[in-house]
Amino acid sequence: MEMQRNQVIARVSKGSNMNQIYLPKNAGVRIMPGDYVVINLLTSSISEKQAFKPYFYGIKELEPIKLKIVEEVFDIILKLSKEEVNIIITGSFLDKGFNFNDLDILILDNKIDVTSIEKKIYEMTGIRTHIIALTKEELTQGLASDPLFQTMISRCISKDRLIFNYKPIINVKILDLHLLKSKNLIDNFEVLSGREKYYLTFNLLSIMLFLEKGKITKEIVEKAINQEFHLKNNEEIKENLIREEFLNKYKKLYEKTFNLIMKNLKGDKPIK
C-alpha cells in the first residue's frame, strides 16, 4: 500500500465522550471515511525543533530581548562557519540591564573569519562585537595560566556544554603584563572614569587571587573587591564615588601582587 505524503492541518475538538478531529472536504487531500491516517502533534514538533536552549554558567537568567540577541548571534556565526563550532558569550552583556558597549564572544575555531562575522553581526543587530577565535586546547591553556580567562568563562552562555580539565600554572610573563595595566590607576587616578577604575581594580584583584588560589570566578573577585576596600557594592567604584583612601589601599594591593609575581620568576609552575 502506497502512503500518501500530503498533510492536512486541523484542530482537535472536545467531544462529549472523546476528542475528535474534523477534516475539511475541500482541503485538497482525498481522505475518505474508513481511511487510515497518522496524527502528529504539530505544536509539539515545532517547539522541539525550534527550541533554543543554550547553557548558562554563573548566571540564572537573561532578559528575553538579550536571549533573542544571543540566539540571532549564534545563528549568524553558525551560518558563516564551515563546520559546527562552539560559541561562548561573556562580559558585561550578561549583567542586568542594557548598559553594555559590545558583545564579548569566544569561538572555538581558530580558522574562522572573525572580521566577516563581526561585520555581519553589526549589520544584522547593530551591536559591535569583540571576538576571539581559538581552539579548545588554546582556551584550556588560557584557563590554566590567565586569571582573566577564568573570570570570563566563570560567567557565560555557550552553545554547547563546557567541560575543561586543567591545573593552574604561574606564567610570569602573562601575569606581569596584566599587572602593568593596573598601574594605570595609580598614575592616572584623577582623570580615569569610574568604570575604568573598576576594570583596573578587577584586573588587579584577579591576578592577586589567582596567585593565592589558582582557580577563581567573577563572583569571587567581586566579593574580594568589596571586602578589601570596605565597600557596600562595586557600584561605588563604577560611579566614581571613591576617594584617596581607596587609592592608598590599591597601592598596597598592587605592591603585594607584584611581590607575589616576583617570587615566581623561575618560570611556569603549578599552583598548589
pLDDT in tens, 219-255: 999 999 999 999 999 999 999 999 999 999 999 999 9
In tens, the pLDDT along 18-57 reads 777 766 555 455 677 777 676 766 544 444 445 789 999 9
254: number of Cβ within 10 Å: 19
- In-domain check, residue 24: no
Domain count, the chain: 2
- 10 assigned to some structural domain: no
Q: Is the domain of 198 the same as that of 255?
A: yes
Quote the domain boundaries for residue 77: 53-158
Q: Is the pTM of this model over 0.85?
A: no
Determine, yes or no, domain membership for 20: no
Which of 116, 138, 158 terminates a domain? The answer is 158
Structural domain includes residue 57:
yes
- Rounded CA-CA distance 240/29 in Å is 70
Is 154 in the same domain as 173?
A: no
- Are residues 136 and 214 located together in one domain of the fold? no
Residue 90 lies in a domain: yes
Residues 180 and 95 in one domain: no
Do 10 and 33 meet the contact criterion of CB atoms below 8 Å apart? no
Query: Is 30 among the domain residues?
Result: no
